Amino acid sequence: MAGKKYLFTPGPTPVPPQVLAALAEPVVHHRSPDFRPIYERCLTRLREVCRTQQDVLLFAASGTGAFESAVANLVSPGESHLVISAGSFGERWVSLTKAYGADVDHLRYAWGETPEPDDVRARLRERASKAVWVVQSETSTGVIADVQVADLGGPYDVAFAQFGTMFFDNPVVALRNVRRALAPGGQLVIVVWRRRLDNDWLYRAQTIVEGIVERPEEYDEPTCGPGPFSMADADTTSDVLRHAGYEEIALQRCDIPIVIGSDVDEAIDLVMAIGPAGEVLRLAGDRAAHLHDAVRIALRDGLEEFEGPDGVRAQASTWIVSASTPEA
Residue 208, CA distances (Å) to 188, 214, 232, 258, 269 in order: 37, 11, 22, 21, 14
Cα gap 165→232, rounded to integer Å: 11
> What pLDDT score was predicted for residue 60?
78
Q: Is a pLDDT exceeding 70 seen at residue 50?
A: yes
Amino acid identity, residue 143?
Answer: V
Which of 52-56, 128-132, 135-139 has the highest average model confidence (pLDDT)?
Answer: 128-132
Residue 83 within a domain: no
Q: What is the pLDDT of residues 302-322, one digit of tens each?
A: 998 888 888 888 888 999 999
Residue 10 lies in a domain: no
What distance in Å separates the CA atoms of residue 192 and residue 134, rounded to the nearest whole number? Answer: 28
| Average pLDDT estimate for 238-267 | 90
Angle between helices 264-273 and 292-303 (to 10 degrees): 120
Residue 131 lies in a domain: no
Look at residue 216 and tell me if it is in a domain.
yes
Whether 107 and 82 have beta carbons less than 8 Å apart is answered as yes
Q: Is the pTM of this model over 0.75?
A: no
Percent of the chain with pLDDT over 70: 90
Residue 239, domain member (yes or no) = yes
Asked if 165 and 140 touch (Cβ cutoff 8 Å), the reply is no
Q: Would residue 306 count as lying in a domain?
A: yes
The total domain count for the chain is 1
13 lies in some domain: no
177 close to 207: Cβ distance less than 8 angstroms: no
Parent domain of 320: 146-328
Q: Look at residue 258 and tell me whether its pLDDT is greater than 50.
A: yes
Amino acid 46: pLDDT: 85
User: 90-119 pLDDT, tens per residue?
Assistant: 899 899 999 999 999 999 999 888 888 888
Q: In this structure, is residue 39 part of a structural domain?
A: no
Residue 224, pLDDT score: 44
Task: Please tell me the least confidently modeled range out of 54-68, 118-132, 175-189.
Answer: 54-68
Specify the pLDDT at position 144: 62
Mean pLDDT within 48-70:
82
Q: Give residue 222's pLDDT.
A: 45
CATH number of the domain that residue 163 is part of: 3.40.50.150
Please give the pLDDT value at position 145: 61
* Confidence grade of residue 241 (pLDDT, cut at 50, 70, 90): very high
How far CA 63 is from CA of 9, 86, 111, in Å, comes to 15, 17, 20
